[in-house]
């Protein structure tokens, strides 16, 4: 099919490249000419493992433009993948969505076309986009343009695997639109495509579930899923706080409860809390929607409160040992909100650095991939860049591990703490798994490292 993707951010770029790999002719449209020129040169503006390889393989089916008049008229399916950033009141900013819908409407050519809300949008947005299409299409006819909700469930860092081997494909709308979406996704639904070597099909994977619903239910599914995962993480962190006080180990606790199939192990990792563009925004939006209808959602409100408290807990642990932070050198390892991405949105490290700035500490930060992006997006913060984790640690009074990069897990921490002025590590992601051989204070979330015994030392 001919497919147009409006918006080439994390969701739009991943969706477009995946559909091109599956054999569709894809036009990626963005109003940022610099981004489009980069994509034409084969340069990817985001970091996502394997995406550059998939882009290279799908290049023949991909085209890039800033021109709606070129991208819209001949498209069979048009995906809206623009940003919906949160506003101060928790409501998403829908100006980009509205602008995209209006520009799409003005360039429809009269044939049957499906317009897909892929962006995470408030409940009711499908009907709203339908009205925009109706009001601004040049020659509008009923039953010619179908709006479908097809929310994404991608995790940054594993987006290719999530795209090619999804748990489920959710399609919301009327039957005529859903038929075309099934045709579009047929290679995914039947898993009939050749799996890339660098993103192999999981051994136990069969085919995704296809969930067909109304527009409203599809929109609710997206918000409810993200809010539930946010709640699960906040629950683990709340239990971790109690574990610290009674002497339990959060890793042992979550392992024990996770074997219950009703609970599962995923999204129970205690640490600095969740970040990124989805959990906080979507949970807040769901609470706001409830407020619009006079319906309070105290459980979700508590999830946000616990998550924010978790960030304060990390600084509290630092102050417990250093007391005054003014003039102290603190290394922050990890800037992206999670490993295997350069996405800085709502990253815990941002809040750590901002608080350390207020407290007068000197901050030295390192991240394997996100530092270049941070130069642009975190220009309001004061910190020094370190070329390596070792450079950040050297001479530090304390280290905060803010992102669980594999690189940090593999560090020889016995060696690293020897280079510090004061051997204090606030391991906010519980990446240090063994007690150290050298004197050091290691603060973790919800547990304490076991003490090394004499027998361990001899071994």
pLDDT tens across 342-370, in order? 999 999 999 999 999 999 999 999 999 99
- φ, ψ of residue 370 to 5 degrees: the values are -95, 0
The reply, when asked if residue 155 is annotated as ligand binding, is: yes
Domain 2-212 in CATH 3.40.50.300: no
DSSP letter assigned to residue 205: -
* DSSP helix/strand/coil, 116: strand
User: Measured between alpha carbons, how far is 83 from 90 in angstroms, rounded to an integer?
Assistant: 15
- Per-residue pLDDT band for 453 (boundaries 50, 70, 90) equals low
Which two structure tokens, joined as six digits, stand for 220? 């609710």
Between 119 and 432, the higher pLDDT residue: 432
Q: Is the pLDDT of residue 385 over 50?
A: yes
* DSSP helix/strand/coil, 79: strand
Average pLDDT of 252-276?
95
Q: Is the pLDDT of residue 3 over 60?
A: yes
Torsion of the alpha carbons at 131, 133, 135 and 137, rounded to the nearest 10 = -170
The reply, when asked if residue 269 is annotated as ligand binding, is: yes
Which two structure tokens, joined as six digits, stand for 399? 């280290």
Averaged confidence pLDDT in the chain: 93
What local confidence, expressed as pLDDT, does residue 458 receive? 46
Q: Is the pLDDT of residue 455 over 50?
A: no
Q: Which of 154-158, 258-262, 270-274 has the lowest mean pLDDT?
A: 154-158
What local confidence, expressed as pLDDT, does residue 155 receive? 87
Residues 6+ apart with CB under 8 A from 324: none
The reply, when asked if residue 84 is annotated as ligand binding, is: yes
What local confidence, expressed as pLDDT, does residue 454 receive? 46
Tell me the per-residue pLDDT of 52-75, one tens digit each, with 9 for 90 and over: 999 999 999 999 999 999 999 999
- Per-residue pLDDT band for 205 (boundaries 50, 70, 90) equals very high
Average pLDDT of 376-387?
97
Contact (CB, 8 A) for 219 and 125? yes
The reply, when asked if residue 290 is annotated as ligand binding, is: no
Tell me the per-residue pLDDT of 270-318, one tens digit each, with 9 for 90 and over: 999 999 888 888 999 899 999 999 999 999 999 999 999 999 999 999 9
- Per-residue pLDDT band for 138 (boundaries 50, 70, 90) equals confident
Average pLDDT of 113-142?
89
Q: Is the pLDDT of residue 438 over 70?
A: yes
Instruction: Give yes or no on whether 2-212 and 214-459 have one common fold.
Output: yes
Where are the extended beta strands (E) located within 298-361? Answer: 329-333
Q: Is the pLDDT of residue 228 over 90?
A: yes
- φ, ψ of residue 131 to 5 degrees: the values are -65, -40
The reply, when asked if residue 338 is annotated as ligand binding, is: yes
Does the annotation mark 278 as catalytic?
Answer: yes
Topology, domain 214-459 = Rossmann fold (3.40.50)
User: Measured between alpha carbons, how far is 448 from 157 in angstroms, rounded to an integer?
Assistant: 29
Please report where in the chains the tokens 């391991």 appear, as a residue: 427
**In a 10 Å sphere around its CB, with 0-12 CB exposed, 13-18 middle and 19+ buried, how is residue 324 labelled?**
exposed
Give, for 327, the enclosing helix (H) or strand (E): none
* Given the residues 218, 278, 287, 333, the one annotated as active site: 278
The reply, when asked if residue 345 is annotated as ligand binding, is: yes
User: Measured between alpha carbons, how far is 243 from 151 in angstroms, rounded to an integer?
Assistant: 37
Please report where in the chains the tokens 């350069």 appear, as a residue: 342
| Angle formed by the axes of helices 279-292 and 215-246, nearest 10° | 120
DSSP letter assigned to residue 449: P
The reply, when asked if residue 203 is annotated as ligand binding, is: no
The reply, when asked if residue 267 is annotated as ligand binding, is: yes
The reply, when asked if residue 194 is annotated as ligand binding, is: no
Q: In 3D, which of 289, 392, 290, 384 has the Cα closest to residue 333?
A: 392
User: Measured between alpha carbons, how far is 269 from 262 in angstroms, rounded to an integer?
Assistant: 17
What local confidence, expressed as pLDDT, does residue 452 receive? 63
φ/ψ region of 238 (left if φ > 0, alpha if ψ in -120 to 50, else beta) reads: alpha
The reply, when asked if residue 294 is annotated as ligand binding, is: no
Average pLDDT of 75-96?
88
Q: Is the pLDDT of residue 139 over 90?
A: no
Parallel, antiparallel, or unpaired: how do β-strands 77-80 and 398-401 relate?
A: unpaired
Integer distance in angstroms from the first to the last C-alpha of the chain? Answer: 63
Where are the extended beta strands (E) located within 308-352? Answer: 329-333
- Residue ranges covered by each domain of the chain: 2-212, 214-459
Contact (CB, 8 A) for 86 and 96? no
């Amino acid at each position: 099919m001919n497919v147009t993707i409006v918006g080439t951010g994390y969701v739009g770029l991943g969706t477009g490249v995946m559909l091109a790999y599956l054999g569709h002719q894809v036009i990626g449209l963005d109003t940022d000419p610099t981004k489009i020129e980069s994509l034409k040169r084969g340069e990817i503006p985001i970091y996502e493992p394997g995406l550059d390889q998939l882009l290279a393989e799908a290049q023949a089916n991909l085209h890039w433009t800033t021109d709606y008049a070129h991208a819209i008229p001949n498209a069979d399916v048009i995906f809206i993948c623009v940003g919906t950033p949160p506003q101060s009141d928790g409501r998403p900013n829908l100006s980009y969505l509205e602008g995209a819908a209006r520009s799409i409407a003005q360039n429809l050519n009269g044939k049957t076309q499906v317009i897909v809300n892929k962006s995470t949008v408030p409940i009711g947005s499908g009907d709203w986009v339908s009205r925009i299409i109706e009001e601004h299409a040049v020659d509008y006819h009923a039953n010619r343009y179908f709006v479908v909700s097809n929310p994404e469930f991608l995790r940054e860092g594993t987006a290719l695997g999530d795209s090619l081997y999804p748990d489920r494909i959710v399609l919301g709308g009327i039957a005529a639109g859903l038929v075309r979406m099934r045709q579009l996704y047929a290679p995914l639904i039947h898993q009939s495509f050749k799996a890339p070597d660098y993103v192999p099909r999981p051994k136990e994977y069969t085919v995704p579930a296809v969930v067909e619903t109304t527009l409203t239910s599809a929109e609710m599914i997206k918000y409810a899923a993200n809010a539930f995962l946010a709640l699960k993480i906040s629950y683990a962190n709340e239990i971790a706080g109690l574990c610290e006080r009674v002497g339990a180990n959060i890793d042992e606790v979550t392992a024990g409860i996770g074997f219950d199939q009703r609970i599962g192990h995923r999204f129970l990792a205690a640490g600095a809390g969740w970040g990124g563009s989805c959990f906080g925004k979507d949970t807040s939006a769901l609470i706001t929607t409830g407020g619009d209808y006079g319906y309070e959602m105290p459980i979700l409100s508590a999830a946000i409160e616990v998550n924010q408290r978790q960030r304060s807990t990390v600084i509290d642990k630092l102050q417990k040992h250093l007391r005054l932070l003014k003039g102290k050198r603190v290394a922050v390892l990890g800037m992206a909100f999670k490993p295997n991405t350069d996405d800085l949105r709502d990253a815990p490290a941002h809040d750590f650095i901002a608080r350390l700035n207020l407290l007068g500490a000197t901050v030295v930060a390192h991240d394997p991939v996100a530092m270049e992006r941070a130069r642009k997006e975190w220009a309001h913060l004061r910190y020094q860049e370190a070329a390596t984790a070792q450079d950040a640690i050297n001479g530090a009074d304390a280290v905060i591990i803010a992102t669980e990069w594999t690189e940090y897990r593999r560090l020889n921490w016995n060696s690293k703490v020897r280079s510090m002025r004061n051997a204090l590590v606030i391991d906010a992601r519980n990446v240090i798994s063994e007690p150290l051989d050298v004197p050091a204070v290691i603060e973790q979330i919800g547990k304490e490292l076991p003490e090394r015994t004499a027998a361990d030392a001899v071994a």
